[in-house]
Structure 1
Amino acid sequence: MKEVNGNFKEIVNKDTLVVVDFYADWCGPCRFLTPVLEKLEKEFDGVEFVKVNVDRHRELAFEFGISSIPTVLMFHKGKIVNSFIGALPEAAVRVEIERALQLIQP
């Protein structure tokens, strides 16, 4: 998963699903969720996975009302289509991504 270092709006304004993990290096649950997202990134072709360090990008965390981490927001064409908070198990994360994909189907 690549880390967002600017151009956030450009990244999430795509026609594909973009899964954004808001995390911090010191966060235990975040360290649990990262390998889950990295595994799913390999399974979901056409879905982009990125991460945002809330300590380095406080303005983005504030803009999206991130008050607990990890928080995952899923974007399509710049709009949030699904989200979850916390270190969910792999099966639950997969369900949330699949739900988001269903929501963006024409």
Structure 2
Amino acid sequence: MNSVHSLEEIQTTINESKLTLLYISRPDCSVCRGLLPQVKELLYEFPSVVSIHVDADEIPEIAGEYSIFTVPVVLVFVEGKEMIRKARFVPIGELRKQLEKVAEFMQ
């Protein structure tokens, strides 16, 4: 999972990739720190998914750009369009099933 440091980097990655997972967190968020390793592990099952990580404290304008009200947030984009949104408590099993459907559709 690559860390990005600007809205431009985020937009470029989303627009240039067929399937993108955007993980938004804050350093002081214990839920974020617990979820990140689970999301990273899940992504090994989906090599076609380009994944990026953003620190919401570093890019505060991300909240307005993506209508973020809490962290962590997992957003999945398909060809530049948001298809999946999970926030705060992210059930990994549910996210896996949704990614499977999207990845299968994209093949």
Coarse TM-score class (shorter-chain normalised): 0.7 to 0.9
Q: Quick one: percent identity of the two aligned structures?
A: 27
Instruction: Pick one of 92, 97, 100 that aligns with 1:98.
Output: 100
Number of the residue aligned with 2:3: 3
Q: Which runs of no fewer than 5 residues in structure 2 stay unpaired? A: none
Instruction: Pick one of 10, 13, 23 that aligns with 2:15.
Output: 13
The count of corresponding residues between Structure 1 and Structure 2 is 105
Q: What is the alpha-carbon distance in structure 1 between the residues aligned to residue 89 and residue 102 of structure 2?
A: 18
Provide, for residues 41-79 of structure 1, a one-character-per-residue CA deviation record: whole Å limited to 9, x for no partner: 211111111111110011122211100111111112221
Number of the residue aligned with 2:62: 60
Number of the residue aligned with 2:33: 31
Over the aligned positions, Cα root-mean-square deviation in angstroms equals 1.8
Aligned residues of 1:14 and 1:76 also touching (Cα < 8 A): no
Q: TM-score, normalised by structure 1?
A: 0.86
Aligned residues of 1:4 and 1:52 also touching (Cα < 8 A): yes
Q: Which runs of no fewer than 5 residues in structure 1 stay unpaired? A: none
Aligned residues of 1:74 and 1:100 also touching (Cα < 8 A): no
